[in-house]
Amino acid sequence: MKFHPTPLGGAFLIELEPRRDERGFLARSFCAEEFAAAGLDTEFVQANNSYSEHAGTLRGMHYQLPPSAESKLVRTIHGAIYDQILDLRPDSPTFGQSFGAELTMENRLMMYVPRGFAHGLLTLRSQTEVLYLVSAAYAPQQERGLRHDDPRFGLKWPEPPRQVSPKDASWPDFDLDLHGVEQLRGL
C-alpha cells in the first residue's frame, strides 16, 4: 500500500499495490504493521457496507464524540463516490478545512479518516456500494452531524445532491457547543 497524505493532518488516501498475474490480481487493503508505521489506527471493530441505488445520493456529514470517536477506512467496491472529510478537531491547524477525492471501483483508492473528522459521501453512479471499517462501534448517543451545505464550511461537491435523508438534511447550522466539537480537543 502507498499512503498519500492529504492537506489535512492525519488523513490519507491509500493506494493499493496489486500483484498481477494471468488470473487477475491480489492486493492488501489493510496491514496492521503498515498502518502502525504510518501512525494510523490498527484496531477496527466494525465493518459497514452501504448501498445506494441512485447517483446523487448523499450520506453525511457524520462523526461521533469521545469516547466513541472513530477512525474510518473507506473504499468503494462498486460504482463511484466523492468522499469528503472535514477536520473538526478544535486545536488542529486545519480545523474547519475539508478535503475530497473520488473513490471508484476502478481506482481502488481508500480514504483514511482520523478521529475528530466529519465524513460524508456523494454517489457519482447508480448502484454504488461502499465498504468501510470503523475503529469504534456505533453509539447513537455520541452521534453528531452537520449538513452538506452548512454555510460555515462551504463544502464543495462535484454535483448537487439529489437524495439526502431527512436526518442528514435537518442538522442545525454548525455550532461548537451544540455539535460537541469541544470534546474532540486533543484527538
112, 132, 148, 179: the active-site residue:
132
Cβ–Cβ under 8 Å, residues 61 and 119: yes
Q: Report the 3 state secondary structure along 116-174.
A: CEEEEEEECCCCEEEEEEECCCCCHHHEEECCCCCCCCCCCCCCCCCEECHHHHCCCCC
In terms of C-beta distances under 8 Å and separation of at least 24 residues, what long-range contacts does 25-33 make, across chains too?
Answer: 27/108, 28/1, 29/1, 29/75, 29/110, 30/73, 30/133, 31/1
Q: Is the peptide bond before 67 cis (omega within 30 degrees of 0)?
A: yes
- Neighbouring C-beta atoms of residue 108, cutoff 10 Å: 18
62, 119, 148, 179: the active-site residue:
62
Alpha-carbon span 38 to 41, nearest angstrom: 9
132 is catalytic: yes
78 is catalytic: no
User: Catalytic positions, please?
Assistant: 62, 132
